[in-house]
Amino acid sequence: MSPAGSSRWSPTTEQLMILEELYRSGIRTPSASQIQQITTHLSFYGRIEGKNVFYWFQNHKARDRQKLRRKLTKQLQLQQQQLQLHHCQLTPDITNHFFAYSPSSSTQDFPFYNPPTFLFQGGSSNTSEQALNCAWNVHNLQSNLVAREDVTFYNNGWSTPVDVNNQPSSCCTSRPLKTLDLFPLTTTRTDEDCTAPPPKEL
């Protein structure tokens, strides 16, 4: 797996498992520093860049929403059919139920199943933490990415240095978080609905 020269990133099994676990733990739109940390950690399991993490969360969230939406519309169709069968001719404002279910608040889109403590050591509320993750800000931490002027991407193994120490000198104005330890390696999760096995350290 993960051939040396493929045009797009394909996650390793370990990478995917960790990403899914982070997703289950409540992370939807990771901030710039979060993406940095995740990338750093996952680069141990194979070639990966920050944008891969960025896109992965974006796609996963979107396709979760999409899946949910389809399921709800299908349920609604069934309900309406059954209502018609039962000769109940109430004016069908049931459609409002659908919109009530759909994530209408665009800022915060999901309750945290299992709040990842390691990500909130700075003490800031999650809203302010998760507000700063457009593609531009997220990429601010990526320093050693080639601008991909031509399609010769870097397939020199996964020697991508990722450089946690190479923080911009002007960062951390009044924040206690510098290279805060994102993966504590002590799996203190309660495995509420984590059907996946714990990540097997290769």
Partner DNA sequence: GCAAATTAATGATTTATTCAAG
Partner DNA sequence: CTTGAATAAATCATTAATTTGC
> Binding pattern to its own copies, positions 6-45, x when CB under 8 A?
--------------------------xx------------
Q: What whole-number distance in Å separates Cα of residue 88 and Cα of residue 91?
A: 9
How many angstroms separate the first and last alpha carbons of the chain? 15
> Binding pattern to DNA, positions 123-152, x when CB under 7 A?
-------xxxxxxxx----------x----
| Residue in 144, 155, 179, 187 binding its own copies, rule: CB under 8 A | 144
Nearer to its own copies, 104 or 152 (CB): 152
> By C-alpha distance, which of 128, 136, 138 is closest to 175?
128
> By C-alpha distance, which of 114, 171, 173, 120 is closest to 141?
171
Residues 139-154, buried b or exposed e (16+ Cβ, 10 A)? Answer: bebbeeeeeeeeeebe
> By C-alpha distance, which of 135, 138, 117, 134 is closest to 126?
117
Question: What is the nearest approach in angstroms of its own copies to the Cβ of residue 130?
Answer: 12
Nearer to its own copies, 83 or 132 (CB): 132
Q: Which does 43 bind (CB under 5 to 8 A by kind): DNA, its own copies, none?
A: none
Q: Which does 29 bind (CB under 5 to 8 A by kind): its own copies, DNA, none?
A: DNA
Give how far the C-alpha of residue 33 lies from the chain's centroid of Cα atoms, to the nearest Å: 13
Residue ranges binding DNA (CB under 7 A): 1-3, 6-11, 16, 29, 51-52, 55-56, 58-63, 65-66, 103, 106-107, 109, 130-137, 148
